[in-house]
């Protein structure tokens, strides 16, 4: 169902882009829009991961510099039957993480230092598994394409202000129609992009729970991250808001409600879905709270366990 919905939303985004091109220049404008879309997506396909990692000053790490974090990613990637992604850290106090890359063979997982210092090993496993699920589902490519098309729609709409829009001089949009397109087309693209992002987050939550083997680890992590992310500003994300949809929790100040203008589903709704999934796994009842089923609070990397050992040993 999520795959079908994502496909429909991508088709809507593409159709909107071509429609803007048609309104701007008729059949010729639609062809130009299509060519622009191909060019922008080709550039994004090969370079988006490097651009995003650079925007957030992400630093590559390995098994020597960050052995626990690196080995955890490695073990979960093996469990998910994925190639080992590149591993990065972002020197940022806000706990958060994202995945990027055009395909599983060229993927990267990035976590903030705030995330590594505030989560238990099990909670971190839930977060890493969520990001690996994005990679496995190829969401990183999907979201790159949607972000690129949304940007192109805004660009074409702005062109309309200079070229007047319309199919010809006798059948133009007119001033009011042009202004409406400049405002409404980017807004519609933003809504579709957000809808795709929210759909993929629910799918990655479920996939991540399956990879790490315990939905409540991710639920506990989401609960903790959401509370702390709201209190700590992510300056890099604020400077690059177009990347907000990539993070496991919205890194921007405000926009925490599950409405049309949020890039992420409501955290409580995500936790509830994971609790229900835990019941399906034969774990804690769906009615239990995150606090009832969360793991040790002794700090990151604690080895004391109240649940069976995870796949990493």
Which residues have a catalytic role annotated? 131
- Say how far apart CA 96 and CA 75 lie, in whole Å: 20
E strand or H helix at 123:
helix 121-136
For residue 34, the Cα-to-chain-centroid distance in whole angstroms is: 25
Q: Where are the beta strands (DSSP E) in the chain?
A: 59-60, 86-90, 97-101, 107-112
Q: DSSP alpha helices (H): ranges in 164-297?
A: 174-212, 215-229, 235-239, 267-280, 290-293
Instruction: Decide: 240 and 234 in contact? Cβ < 8 Å.
Output: no
DSSP codes, 178-198: HHHHHHHHHHHHHHHHHHHHH
- Say how far apart CA 186 and CA 161 lie, in whole Å: 14
Q: Which residues contact 130 (CB under 8 A, 6 or more apart)?
A: 97, 204, 205, 207, 208, 218, 248
Report how far apart, in Å, the C-alpha atoms of 204 and of each of 18, 125, 193, 211 are. 30, 14, 16, 10
Query: How many CB atoms sit inside 10 A of residue 257's CB?
Result: 10
- Say how far apart CA 181 and CA 31 lie, in whole Å: 19
- Say how far apart CA 250 and CA 232 lie, in whole Å: 12
Instruction: Decide: 36 and 20 in contact? Cβ < 8 Å.
Output: no
């Amino acid at each position: 169902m999520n795959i079908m919905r994502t496909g429909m939303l991508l088709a809507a985004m593409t159709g909107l882009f071509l429609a803007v091109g048609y309104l701007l220049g008729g059949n010729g404008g639609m062809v130009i829009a299509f060519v622009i879309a191909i060019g922008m997506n080709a550039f994004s396909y090969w370079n988006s991961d490097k651009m995003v990692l650079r925007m957030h000053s992400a630093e590559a790490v390995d098994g020597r510099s960050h052995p626990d974090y690196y080995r955890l990613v490695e073990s979960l990637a093996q469990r998910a039957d994925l190639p080992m992604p590149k591993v990065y850290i972002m020197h940022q106090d806000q706990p958060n993480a994202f995945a990027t890359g055009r395909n599983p063979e060229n993927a990267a997982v990035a976590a903030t230092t705030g995330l590594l210092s505030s989560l238990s090993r099990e909670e971190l496993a839930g977060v890493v598994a969520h990001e690996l699920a994005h990679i496995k589902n190829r969401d990183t490519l999907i979201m790159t394409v949607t972000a690129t098309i949304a940007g192109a729609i805004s660009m074409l709409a702005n062109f309309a202000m200079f070229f007047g829009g319309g199919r010809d001089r006798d059948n133009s949009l007119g001033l009011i129609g042009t202004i409406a397109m400049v405002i409404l087309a980017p807004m519609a693209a933003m809504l579709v992009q957000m809808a795709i992002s929210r759909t993929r987050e629910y799918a990655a939550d479920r996939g991540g729970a399956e990879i790490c083997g315990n939905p409540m680890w991710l639920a506990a992590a989401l609960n903790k991250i959401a509370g702390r992310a709201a209190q700590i500003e992510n300056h890099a994300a604020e400077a690059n808001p177009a990347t907000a949809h990539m993070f496991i929790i919205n890194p921007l100040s405000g926009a925490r409600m599950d409405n049309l203008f949020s890039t992420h589903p409501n955290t409580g709704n995500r936790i509830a879905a994971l609790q229900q999934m835990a019941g399906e796994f034969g774990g804690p009842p769906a009615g239990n709270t995150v606090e009832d089923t969360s793991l040790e609070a002794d700090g990151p990397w604690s080895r004391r366990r109240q649940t069976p050992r995870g796949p990493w040993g």
